[in-house]
Amino acid sequence: MNYLVTGATGGFGTAALKSLQALVPQENIYALARSAEKAADLTAAGVNVRLADYNQPAELKAAFAGIDRLLFVSGAPGNRQQEHQNVVDAAKAAGVSYIAYTSFADAQNSVSALAADHAYTEKAIEAAGIPHTFLRNNWYLENELPLIGAALQSGEFVHAGGAGKTGWALRREYAEVGAKAIAGSDYPEILELSGTPVTYQTLVTAVEEATGKTLAVKDANQKDFEASLVAAGLPAPVAEIFYGFQADIKAGVLDVTSDDFAKALGRPLTSLAEGVKELLQ
Ligand SMILES: NC(=O)c1ccc[n+]([C@@H]2O[C@H](COP(=O)([O-])OP(=O)(O)OC[C@H]3O[C@@H](n4cnc5c(N)ncnc54)[C@H](OP(=O)(O)O)[C@@H]3O)[C@@H](O)[C@H]2O)c1
């Protein structure tokens, strides 16, 4: 049985490979990267590296030869539907027998602009008839690091998420479920991987617990929110992208309640305060 993790040079893929190494023999683990240069650390660590870009169907087909179980890590927004279709088509052509795909919270019903590509990809995998698990990942706690960093500089945690709730969890925990999925866990076709949904106010309390600092909290408008990130050193276009995420959170698109995550992990999730502490180390 051979296992391949795509997006292996990214944060999720790196964590997933680490988890996978504890579950299956090293010689059966393959990693997909876009360039040998980026994959140099993986090669040096003895991981079998295959090279392909999601934009290159022929490369993908060759990269998936002999692979049984695929952890398909979603790419970056842009031309993602075509890229993901290429991945699914190549997996089908190569005879891949199972795909775990990193999707989005409540993907088929979500009103988030981010969800459309994931809803599309889920349908493409279904249409290909490949047995699968959709890992409907909620929000990485890591996504909040710029806001947390800005707050620790200024003493005020500025967000624009209103009373919207988010099911934050550590990226490595989402990735561990991805690794367990391809290693052969008996998971259902859909896992809604969400931490307990909480507001920014609760996240700030966790940051205070993790750091021992007292922070003011401001639920800001777009202008003030973006200004706070720019003041902390983020480029204005990036601050604007972050505002888009805040609008999603305010609209409740990440407010998904499910016990799938702890069940799939086989243990409770790391608490927010412990998670923040880990990320700030
Ligand atoms: N749920 C959340 O909170 C959340 C947050 C951020 C992202 N995401 C999604 O989850 C995915 C994994 O997260 P992450 O933190 O690991 O992101 P990341 O660190 O940006 O890693 C993305 C990985 O995908 C690879 N990739 C991107 N486009 C590709 C293409 N056209 N062909 C082949 N490989 C491609 C990248 O390769 P290179 O190293 O060559 O660029 C990288 O290995 C992201 O790509 C995004 O779709 C989810």
Q: What pLDDT is attached to residue 144? A: 98
Q: Which residue's alpha carbon is nearest to atom 2 within ligand 1?
A: 139
* Chain mean pLDDT for the chain: 97
Contact 9, 42 (CB under 8 A): yes
In whole angstroms, what is the distance from residue 145 CA to residue 166 CA? 15
Q: Which residue's alpha carbon is nearest to atom 45 within ligand 1?
A: 75
What digits encode the pLDDT tens for the residues 170-225? 999 999 999 999 999 999 999 999 999 999 999 999 999 999 999 999 999 999 99
What digits encode the pLDDT tens for the residues 105-121? 999 999 999 999 999 99
pLDDT below 70 — which residues of the chain? none
Distance 73 CA to ligand 1 centre (A): 7
Burial of 272 (0-12, 13-18, 19+ CB in 10 A): buried
The binding-site residues of ligand 1, defined as CB within 6 angstroms of any ligand atom, are 7-13, 34, 38, 53-55, 73-76, 83, 102, 137, 139-140, 143, 171
Ligand 1 atom at minimum distance from 35 CA: 40
Record the pTM.
0.98
Choice from 4, 5, 6, 12 to test ligand 1 binding pocket (greatest atom count within 8 A of CB): 12
Q: What pLDDT is attached to residue 94? A: 97
Choice from 73, 120, 174 to test ligand 1 binding pocket (greatest atom count within 8 A of CB): 73
Closest of 200, 208, 241, 205 to residue 76, by C-alpha: 241
Distance 277 CA to ligand 1 centre (A): 24
Q: What pLDDT is attached to residue 119? A: 98
